[in-house]
Structure formats: C-alpha cells, structure tokens
Amino acid sequence: MKNSGSTLIDRPGSPLWLLAELTYRCPLQCPYCSNPTDMAAIKDELSTEEWLKVIREARELGAVQLGFSGGEPLVRQDLELLVAEGHKLGYYTNLITSGIGMDAGRVAALKQAGLDHIQLSFQAGSEDVNNIFAGSGKAFEKKLVIARAVKDQGYPMVLNFVLHRDNIDELEDILALSEALGADYVELANTQYHGWGLQNRDALMPSEEQLQRAEALTNEYREEHPRGMTLYFVVPDYYEARPKPCMNGWGSMFLTIAPDGLALPCHSARDLPIDFPHVRDMSVSDIWYHSTAFNFFRGDDWMKEPCSSCPEKEKDFGGCRCQAYLLTGDAANTDPVCSKSPQHGQITDAVARANCQTKVDVPLLFRNMKNSRTLIAKG
Amino acid sequence: MFEGISVPVIAKHFRFQWEPAQECYVLLYPEGMVKLNDSAGEILSCCGNQVSVDEIVEKLSKKFPDAHTLPEEVREFFEVAYEKQWINFD
C-alpha cells in the first residue's frame, strides 16, 4: 500500500505549523481561554528532552513555524532552551504570551536564543477592563513594561486582543494603545466559542451593531494608514452565513502538541471523543501520516449531508469539527454556523440573545484550576 | 518608489530561506509563510550585500540570456514586493 500510486497522490502535505502548548499553568484567568475546561485533570507535562524530540521530528517533516503557547509558556524555565533548538533547526519561532512572568532580562535571553517574534496579548485597551478580564489587578501595568522591553530588543510588535461584548466598543482605545506601543501587527480576534469561551458565550458575545461598528473602524484605519499597523480582524463565525475553513482542513497544516504530549490537529480538538495519539508512544511522522485520529476527517468520505453534496465542501471542509461536536453531539455533522445545517437554530438563538435589548448581565466563569475542578465534578 | 540605483533589502522580521520540504524558496514572517515561485526566489536570493536593482537585473540577465523581458519582470516584482512590505529600499 505504501508504494501504491494512489497513496502517494492522496498523501497529505507536511505540517507547516507546530504549536507547542508547553503548559496549562497560567497566572491569568481570561474567561475566553481556548484551553480545555478539564485542564485541572491533565498532569504530567512533557520533559525538556521530550519537547526537543518533538521539535526536531516536526522540522524533519517540513514544519516552518514553531509557536510556543500554553497556558503561559513563560512558566516553563526551559523555554529559552527550546527556542534555541527551534531557531537552530530553521524554524521561525513565535512566542504567544501574556507577558506575565517576563522581564527585560528574559526578553534579552530569548532574543539571544534566536526567538523571532513575540505576540503579546492584552485583554483590553484600558487598564480597568484589561485587569477585570485578566483576573489580575496588576496585569496591564506589567504588560506595558514588557511591551517596551520587546520593542527595545528590536522585535516586531505584534499585539493580540481577544474581542468580546465588554471590550469591542473600546476599539479606538485599543488602536491608540497599539500605536503608542509601536505595534507592527494587531490581531483583533473575536472570541471563538470553544473551551472556556463556550462556557461564557452569553456573557461574551457582542451584538451585531457592536460588531459592525468595530469592523467599520478597522476598515477606516486601514484606508487612512496604508503603510501603518497591519490589522487582522477575525470575525466571530456565529455572525457568518458560512463556516470557516477551520485549520485549513483537518490534519492539513497544523499540529498542536498539548502539555502532556497529546497530538491534536488543533488546540481545541481535545474535546472530541477521538483517541488522539501521544508523542510518548509514536513518532511525529507516524502521528501525522498514519494515526487514525489525524486521518479521521481528511478528505470528504466522512461527510454527511448537507456537506457531502455541497458545492462549497472543498472551500470550507464543512467548518469546525469541534464546534459541530460541542453543539450537535456529532463531530461529523455540518458546523452549525452554516445556514444549511439543520442545527443552525442553535447559532441564531445565541445571536438573538446577544442582540436582545433587555439582555441581562451574565456572570463570567474565570479560567482557573478551581473552576476547572468544579466543572469536572459536575461532569 | 525606487530607481535603478536603489538597494532592495528584505524587510526586518522576514526571513528568506530554501525549504527542502516545499522545494521552493519561502519568506517567513510572524505566524506566516509565503511560498515563492522560481523567479521570485531567484530575484530575492540576489538581494543583500548592497546590491542595487540594476545590478540584480544585470546578474540575472547573464544567468538567463534568453529571458528578454527580464528587466521589466524584475522591476514589476520589486513593486509588488514593496507593496506587500516584503522589502524596503535603502
């Protein structure tokens, strides 16, 4: 089989992205975090040696982008060592961080190790909203210091703001803060409703009016500043009529390794009832090309109606498998974001609640180990 | 935008390298990658060491003597590359 013509033609491309989620530990408590809500039950982080092996094997397959995230990757004291190895192997190395746990010395050490890029997250454009959502009274102040240290080291300044109901109206503040910090790229990413985000969906989802205003402001900035900051505006897919081509297709480019070594086609896939392979048991090459899990939703044989006969199936791959599972109970169903999905009503109901004039405030469930244990106990 | 004596340099934060798995030159930047076609790869691999646009045209014309529209193609590429912020001119 291995040498048959058809297998060669059907062979998926190499992974381009290795996302190393080094830990689920984090000093912040953002209620839209994409980490699994049962993270308190996930122990036994990979060792330095195990991470080095994963990084080498993925590079051999052709991965070019290496992202270090978490949790907060700075919690890992071997971060500099892992960055140095990634850099030496020819990866473009990215650190995705809240900045908490960093100081000017550590920024310099990471630079020395060959780190190419730091993406620094803020929770809002203003101190009070930022700190409420971070669940930390000093977060904003610390981030400003770190942002300057990052800039001083000559890094591109890449800022990330997760947008939601309570900060999306501050877009002017967000852009002003970004300009003041000398940002080169600004990600304005609307909350995706997985993990903690789904738990807090009613509290976080903006109204259509809020969203349209933010998008218009973004476009206005782009027109007025053709060589200014590059803005990436990620729309919340609940407001789309067609699903996103999630991860550019299952097992097509992205490989996430969770803190305990579980290999996933995206950072949310852990929620799916699939037996994912583990880097302690299999090589990265076997995981990518031969594991059942990574082949589960490749191609279109797995699709059901309305996807299987849809002319757009090669464009959006039926949307997000995690969203299909979380909202319909079957990961092979059409992503309910699609207006053709029989379960699309779930999306329109959530959107209607977000647009309701008399919307009641819903309390936020913060992302922390205590709340994770409570959710696990509830089952 | 630029002249023959302008010196194109790959923009800060971009990395240009040959990728064996892709069998092409690529430009890497924060969280992204551009796969370059053969001519874009050839042109960008000439950049650096204070080499001007004119010198790049000359060098590539010697390498590809049959490519008669080469000077225009190189200039057009630099226009696009500048617009995309892959390069700057010294």
ipTM confidence score: 0.86
Position A1 scores a pLDDT of 34
Distance (Å) from the C-alpha of residue A357 to the closest C-alpha of chain B? 39
Each residue of B41-53: pLDDT tens digit?
Answer: 999 999 988 999 9
Say yes or no for a CB contact (<8 Å) between A156 and B20: no
Rounded to whole angstroms, the Cα distance separating B20 from A255 reads 19
Q: Are A71 and A25 in contact (CB under 8 A)?
A: yes
Low-confidence stretches of chain A (pLDDT beneath 70): 1-10, 359
- Tokens representing A362 are 């819903």
Position A7 scores a pLDDT of 37
Task: Using an 8 Å CB-CB cutoff, list chain A residues near B83.
Answer: none
Task: Using an 8 Å CB-CB cutoff, list chain A residues near B32.
Answer: 65
Rounded to whole angstroms, the Cα distance separating B79 from A287 reads 42
Position A278 scores a pLDDT of 98
Say yes or no for a CB contact (<8 Å) between B32 and A65: yes
Q: Are A271 and A32 in contact (CB under 8 A)?
A: no
Classify residue B34 as exposed, middle or buried by CB count within 10 Å of its CB (0-12, 13-18, 19+): middle
Nearest residue to A147 via CA among A103, A94, A109 = A103
Comparing alpha-carbon positions, the chain B residue that sits nearest to A116 is: B13
Distance (Å) from the C-alpha of residue B44 to the closest C-alpha of chain A? 18
Each residue of B15-69: pLDDT tens digit?
Answer: 999 999 889 999 999 888 999 999 999 999 999 889 999 999 999 999 999 988 9
Rounded to whole angstroms, the Cα distance separating B42 from B33 reads 17
- Tokens representing A275 are 């037996």
Strands (E), A146-287: 157-163, 185-190, 230-234, 254-257, 263-264
Please list the residues that pair with A186 across neighbouring strands.
Answer: A159, A231
Each residue of A337-360: pLDDT tens digit?
Answer: 999 999 999 999 999 999 987 767
Position A357 scores a pLDDT of 72
Position B85 scores a pLDDT of 86
Task: Using an 8 Å CB-CB cutoff, list chain B residues near A14.
Answer: 21
Please list the residues that pair with A21 across neighbouring strands.
Answer: A69
Q: Are A350 and A238 in contact (CB under 8 A)?
A: yes
Position A10 scores a pLDDT of 59
Name the CATH superfamily, with its identifier, for domain B8-84.
Coenzyme PQQ synthesis protein D (PqqD) (1.10.10.1150)
Rounded to whole angstroms, the Cα distance separating B25 from B34 reads 9
Distances in Å between the alpha carbon of A172 and those of A178, A217, A309?
A: 10, 8, 44
Amino acid occupying residue A234: V
Q: Are A181 and A157 in contact (CB under 8 A)?
A: yes
Q: Please name the member of B12, B17, B33 whose beta carbon is closest to the beta carbon of A90.
A: B17
Amino acid occupying residue A262: L
Find the length of chain A: 379
